[in-house]
Each structure stands twice: as structure tokens, then as C-alpha cells.
Chains A and B, each alone.
Chain A
């Protein structure tokens, strides 16, 4: 399973990548595989305040609808409109073209508590057994 080492992760299968002062957020390869074919994505409006662990985006697949949680608190600075138009990008390239939104964190210490790639890898390995 693809778990890029440079990213941070949540137990709810989001990834976060530092880009300057922002954190870019998406869902992991494991998540997109479990979701199967994604057919609809709702990304948050730029400027919206989110709290850590709160639903920030919605993904609908052929299986069901799922909330995507904000890995940290802060303000939405960008959201990926291309993915809202062509949701298959998340199935095809979840760590690249399939990013969902970016947050300017308001509580920087929250980011330090996210999982490392190693910790996340262990989590999905355990869940498989």
C-alpha cells in the first residue's frame, strides 16, 4: 500500500502535506481503495473556519457517502475545484491531482500530533487482520 514517507496522516485516513505555512489535505491510497469508485466530491469554501476532527469535505462513492475530517484546525485557504468536477482524480492520483483542500493552521501544535507514515502503515496493517 502506497504511504509516502514525507506526509502526515490521521486515523480517519486523511493525509497532510506541509507547503509553506499551509497544510494540503487529501485522502490516502488505502481510503480511496476502500471507497472504490468516487462519483461526487464536495470541497469546503475558501475562508471557512474548521476545527480539528470536524467534517470539512464530503466524498460519495458507489458504496456510500463519507465525511472527510479536517486534520487540524484553521482556515481553508484553497480548495480543489478540479476534483469537484472530475472526482475520479482521487482514485487515480490521491496524493497529487486528487488533493482536496489546504488549511492555514490556527493551532500549529495540532500538526505535530498527526501520525507518521510508519505509524499510519501499522494502523492499516492491523486493521487488515
Chain B
């Protein structure tokens, strides 16, 4: 299947609208702008009619494999259904048409919403304060690490190391390294959890923070979390929690009560915003009282009955996002939390946990589950038994697409060989979970009896098996008119 690019649909002179003649005298850009900022050539915009654009993008959207069309058990990504009500609320003109430069007096409704969201996130996590600025989980991590550094520096200490369990999200060591910390990996114990003795051996005055994910990427709750945080705090080591897996904890327990000092939430995962295409997201960072002075500014403050921007703070790590963050995502998260309420959030997490355990129970005889305990919102299987047939987790995932299911996360976490990481979320019904289990059972049977079918999958998708190696080694990321074979390509 090939779908031409919108550029390749271009016909010189074709257009959607014709404007009336301008009754304002034209201004030549060269007369009012510095010469280096003025184009000498016209950009090669596609010349197409409105319906060309509509058909093109509608067609592309029909090719999409999304949570609106299919079950999407992509582990660690919390691909829950995003209620359309959130979209309606975010599109309300009172929210959607604001300009970030409008004075606070004109945007009291939005400020009240942001203030309310911060309070709700505090209540859910047990933290003291949040910044809503970070645009995604990894930027939240980076913000958290800046806060960790600022905290130690203010106490006259230069601590250089971050401890990270080997079951952590890959972004954790990346964020720590980007922040200039050196990363020391903690080897998990045989139960897949943090090993207290290993932790004790690694804790010292050089360690700035322990960065952990709870539940971890095996979908297991760190049962010794209070002992872990107490041990770290004895040496003034901060606890950063990656809150990407918060969908397992809503209203059941709070990171603040476990001794966590700071965390990021991935609003686009836990609090439902479409994020399959990579964003936009929101990764607010919550902190304890001791860390509040270091939060990025501005933040919304309530003064009497009015809401205002609080801009100044001597110890703030500074801005991490232009304006006030991805506000549209924040509005959706607010709508989602208010729609579900406390009881609804608890039921969401409980259902996510039950769904994962149900699926694990149905599938554990099909492929082994290496750390087979009661899981939280996700679990990890291994496809290594299929190695003899030359089949990897990758092939299994591709074949599942043919059965109408999105692929689970593969080859992660690294501590499980040939991992398949499955997160059903609370969205799915028992019927869907059963259909998925039956599909996976069939794929494993095929892998044993006719492995070529699995190796060549997918066959029923708009595109078949892609050459991922070539795509990575020789990425072709930009369309250029000279390279295009289409004779109607514009030149310019």
C-alpha cells in the first residue's frame, strides 16, 4: 500500500478559496523586516482544494490503529479510552480561545481550573504542591532532577549520583544522565523487586536520589516501599517516583504516604488524553513541602476570591515550558477527574488491576510469566520458549495485529528475556480480554506449527512487515521535490 503525500497531490494553480481583492495597501516584507529574515523563494506548499485535504487526512485517519478502533494493550503506556466529553470540554471557547498574554482578570475561569487541578493532584498523590508546566513524563523527570540538584545545592552539597533499579523506565537513566548525574543501577532481587541489601550497599553521601517506579515495570508493587524510603532518608537521599504507572494506585494508596519526595504524573496516560501519536502530553511534578520553593514558576495562587499568577521565587529552578504548559491536556485531565470523582477513580484502578490479573491467569500456561505474583495494572511474559522456532516477541506482536489487536510492548523491561509487556487498562470488557487471550493462544500455536506465518506477519494490515533496520540505518525523514517521482510535484 502506498498513499501519496499531500505534496504529491499538488497541482500548480489549484486552490481551495479565492480571496476578495485586498483594500489595504500591501507592505513589502523587505521594507519592514531585516533582510536575513526575508525569504527569497516561495515555500513549496501543496496546491490542493479543500476536499483534497479532507480526503487525504480522512483516509490517513482510517488507516490508524488506535484505541478508538482496537484494543491497545501496549504495556507501560496506559492506552485507556479517552472519553469524548474531555474533548468537548477542552474545545469550549472559554478555554480554547484564550491567549496566554491575556491579563489574569480576564481568564479567572482558566486559572481556577488550573488551581483546582493542582489541588486534586495533591489530594490523589499526597504531595504538597505541583507544577503543571512539564510537557510530558520525561520532561517531568528532568524537572524533578533539577529540583533534586537545587535542594542539595541549597544545603551546600554537591551530590553526583542517582540510583535507578534495573526495572526502571528507560527514560529514568536518560533523564539523569542528561541532567549531569552519573547513574548507578540497582539489581533487582529474585522477586523482581528492589533488594534492600543491594540498596543499603549503594546508599552513601554521594547519592542525590533514588529514582524508582511503583508499581515497577514488571507490574509489581514495591511491597517494602516504606523501608526503602526510610533507608534513603537516613542519608538525606531523596525519593523520586516515576508516576507513569499511577493508573494502578488511584485512590488506593498515595506516594506521599509512602515517603516519596517528588514524582511526575503522566496526565495523558492516567488521566486520559489521546497520546498514541506521541503527544501532546502533560507531566506535572508534585513535591513535598520541603521542595516546594524549588518548583518552576509561574504557578497559580489564590488571593482572596481571585486567582493570580505567582511569578517570583528566589529558589525556583526556573521555567521549563513556554507559557503555562500544555493547557489543553490539563483541561482534559480536569474534566476526567471531575467526571469520575473519588469513587470512579478508585474503580478505574481496581478494574485495571483485575483486568491485568485476569488476563495473566488466562495466559500463564501459554507463555511463561517469569515474575508470577499478583500484579498491578500490567504484567510481563517471555516468548523465549519460541526461540527454537526462530520466533521472537517481536514476531508474536506483529502477528497479533492480524488478529485485530495492537501489539504489546516488546523487549522491555530488559530484565526479562524476549519480554511481552501487557497492560489492558480498565477500559476493556471481559469479552475483549477473552478474545485477546484466544488470539494470543492461536499465535503461539502458529509459532510452533507454522512459524513462517508468524515471521511474515502482519499480512492483513495496510502495510506489511516493515524493514525497521533500514529505517533506522538510513532514515528518510523529509520529502524533497527533486527526489519525488510524481510529475505533479511543485518546484520552488
* Interface residue ranges, A against B (CB under 8 Å): 37, 39-40, 60, 62-65, 87-88
Which residues of A have CB within 8 Å of B468?
Answer: 37, 62
* Interface residue ranges, B against A (CB under 8 Å): 170, 411-412, 414, 468-469, 472-473
Contact of B473 among A64, A65, A88 (CB under 8 A): A88
Contact of A40 among B170, B411, B412, B472 (CB under 8 A): B472
B469, A62: Cβ atoms closer than 8 Å: yes
Bound form: Cα–Cα A63–B414 in Å = 10
Which residues of B have CB within 8 Å of A88?
Answer: 473
A40 to B, closest residue via Cβ = B472
Which residues of B have CB within 8 Å of A62?
Answer: 468-469, 472
**A39 CB to nearest chain B CB (Å):** 4
B469, A39: Cβ atoms closer than 8 Å: yes
Which residues of B have CB within 8 Å of A60?
Answer: 472
A54 to B, closest residue via Cβ = B182
- Counting from the closest, the 5 A-B pairs by CB-CB distance are A39-B472, A37-B469, A63-B411, A39-B473, A62-B468
B412 to A, closest residue via Cβ = A64
With A39-B472, A64-B414 known, 9 other A-B pairs at CB within 8 A are A37-B469, A37-B472, A39-B469, A39-B473, A40-B472, A62-B468, A62-B469, A63-B411, A65-B170
**B79 CB to nearest chain A CB (Å):** 21
Which residues of B have CB within 8 Å of A65?
Answer: 170
B472, A64: Cβ atoms closer than 8 Å: no
Bound form: Cα–Cα A18–B473 in Å = 31
**A33 CB to nearest chain B CB (Å):** 11
**B475 CB to nearest chain A CB (Å):** 9
Which residues of A have CB within 8 Å of B414?
Answer: 64
Which residues of B have CB within 8 Å of A39?
Answer: 469, 472-473
**B382 CB to nearest chain A CB (Å):** 14
B413 to A, closest residue via Cβ = A64
**A66 CB to nearest chain B CB (Å):** 8
- Contact sample, A vs B, 19 pairs, CB 8 Å cutoff: A37-B468, A37-B469, A37-B472, A39-B469, A39-B472, A39-B473, A40-B472, A60-B472, A62-B468, A62-B469, A62-B472, A63-B411, A64-B170, A64-B411, A64-B412, A64-B414, A65-B170, A87-B473, A88-B473
Bound form: Cα–Cα A64–B411 in Å = 8
Bound form: Cα–Cα A62–B468 in Å = 7
Bound form: Cα–Cα A53–B170 in Å = 20
**B370 CB to nearest chain A CB (Å):** 14
Which residues of B have CB within 8 Å of A37?
Answer: 468-469, 472
